[in-house]
Structures are given as C-alpha cells and as structure tokens.
Structure 1
C-alpha cells in the first residue's frame, strides 16, 4: 500500500466567506508522486503537471487535485463528503500503484471542452432558468464540470443528447464513486 494515512483539514473559502460549501486538504503522510502518472492514465485527469507532479480531476462539479503530498478538493457540502472523496481517491491511488506494471503512465491531461462548442448546443435564449445570467456563462460552467445538460430546463432532448455526446470524452466515469 502506497498511501496509508493522511490528516484532513476542512476550511471555508477565504475569498467567499459566505459560501455554502467548504474545501479540504488531505495532508498525506506518504509521498504519492510516483503514482500520479498512473492515476492520470486510469482516471483521465484534465490537467497534469509534471514538475512538481499533480493531476486534477473534475467530478460531480468539484475539482480534485492530487499532489505528491496533498489532495485538495473544493465545493464540498461538509466533512462527511470530504472524507468519502478522500477515501475514494486514496483507494484509487493504492489500486493503480498495485497494478502499475500493467498501466502505461500518462504525462498529460485530456483535451479540454470548448465553451463555444458547448454554446452551439444551447438554446441561446439567456432565459436564466438554469440559474446563470446567460447561456455563455452556463456553457462555461458546463466546461468546468459544475453544470450539465440536465441543468438547462429549456434544452430540447435532441440538443441534450448532442451536448452529452460532446461532453462524454471530457467526463470522468463517476458511476462507481460512492458519494
């Protein structure tokens, strides 16, 4: 087992003290730097940095970044959710480390979704039914992974299917994630 223990730090966003979410750092007691290219290959990180190594994932509207000695997660409901996510990524790190001989390491992130391509699938009415001020802002939030096609009530089913097809290569498969 590569990663055995960590210390969890939960905090509010200093820039947005009234935010309804919290963030966390899991300070790792073991260095997982060598596992990061394997983790990136298996989970498809959208950003990978070689020096110092880190890989960032978008999932469930959150950003999760794994560094050699720290894991950072934003947009969390509470400490319980933070613990679930950190425990999940800990299992993933240990699993890829165990089977690293069968994985080709990946030293780059996946291509990024283009806001303009997302916007092409939207109704462009700026109706605000999604909670965003414009369709362009909504498209940006989709590109960030914070919103999805289901968050636009005005989106026809055919356009929803097209947007989902466009976004599929950029999304981490989160069906097996237990939160």
Structure 2
C-alpha cells in the first residue's frame, strides 16, 4: 500500500469578515496538524493554482467562485455559504493534497501560477447597468471580485443565458471545477 497520508487532520474556525459582519457569507481558516508545504508544488501542478509563492510555500486556487489559499500549516477559504460548505471543501482539499503527495513521483512540480483573468474582459460581458441586484454597488466592483474568484457568472442576475455562458467559459480558463 502507499505511504501514510501527509495531511491527517486540522481544526477550523468559521467567521464573518470583520470589515462587514452583515455579509451573508462566511470565511474559514483551517489550522493543519501537519505541514503540507512539501506537497504544494505537486498540488499546484494537479489543480492549476492561480498564484504560487515559494517562500514560504503557498498556493492560491479559485474553486466554484471561492478563493482558497493553501499554505504549509493553513487553509483559508472565502465567501462560503455555511460551515457545511467549508467542511466539503476542506475534505476535498485534504484528499487532493494526500493524492498529490502520494503520486508525486509521477507529477512534475509546478512553481508558478496561472495568469489572472482581466477585469476589462469580465466587464465587457457584464450588463454594465449597475443595478445592484448582485448586492454590489457597481458592475466594476462585481468584475473585480470575479477576477479574484469571489463572484462567478451565476452571481449576476441581469446576465442573459448567452452572456452568462460566455462569462462562465471565460472564467473557467482560470479556475477548476
């Protein structure tokens, strides 16, 4: 059988952002029991991180509109619906980290991130009505959050099906599902 798991356990903290405690979404910080730093270049290669930092090792991912940071001893996830969603993503990441580590002999480690989507390309696909139906003050703010992975095409109620598909396809080039 393979070697033992690299990441065995973690403890998590769920909280609302200090800057706006009225936000419906929550954030999660998981403190890892083991240091997964050595696995991060392999995890980055498998999952296609948007940013990679070597010292200390840290990789950023976009996953289903969430921004996720994985560091040696910590995982941070933004804009979660609830604690249940945090648990699902943490367990998924735990599996991905352990599989990447176990299969590292067959994986070429990656020490760079993907290029970010361009805010202007996102804005071109938005209705530019500043309707605020998404909960944000302007389409530009929406585009900035989409560029960082905090919003996805489905979060704009004014998009028609064609534009929603175009925006979703564009952002999918920078994310993984």
Same fold, TM exceeding 0.5? yes
131-140 vs 100-109, which moves further: 131-140
Three-state SS of the structure 1 residue aligned to 2:18 is coil
CA deviations on 1:26-48 (whole Å, 9 max, x unpaired) are 21121111100010111111111
Q: Tell me the CA shift for residue 17 of structure 1.
A: 3.1
1:59 aligns with 2:63: yes
Shift, 1:59, TM fit: 1.8
- Contact 2:64-2:152 at 8 Å conserved across structures: no
1:18 equivalent to 2:22? Answer yes
Aligned equivalents of 1:15, 1:134: Cα separation in 2: 19
Runs (4+) off by over 4 Å: none
Unaligned runs of 5+ in 2: none
Gaps spanning 5+ residues in structure 1: where?
A: 174-179
State the Cα RMSD in Å.
2.0
C-alpha contact (below 8 Å) 2:78/2:150 kept by paired residues: no
Change (3 A) 1:21 1:131: closer
Rounded Cα–Cα distance in structure 1 between residues aligned with 2:53 and 2:32: 18
Give the TM-score, by structure 1 length: 0.85
Q: Tell me the distance in 2 between the aligned counterparts of 1:138 and 1:125.
A: 12
Matches within 5 A, 1:86-105: 86-105=90-109
Equivalent residues in 2 for 1:1-179 (5 A)?
Answer: 1-173=5-177
Q: 1:13-64: CA deviations, max 9, x gaps?
A: 3333333333222211211111000101111111111100011112233221
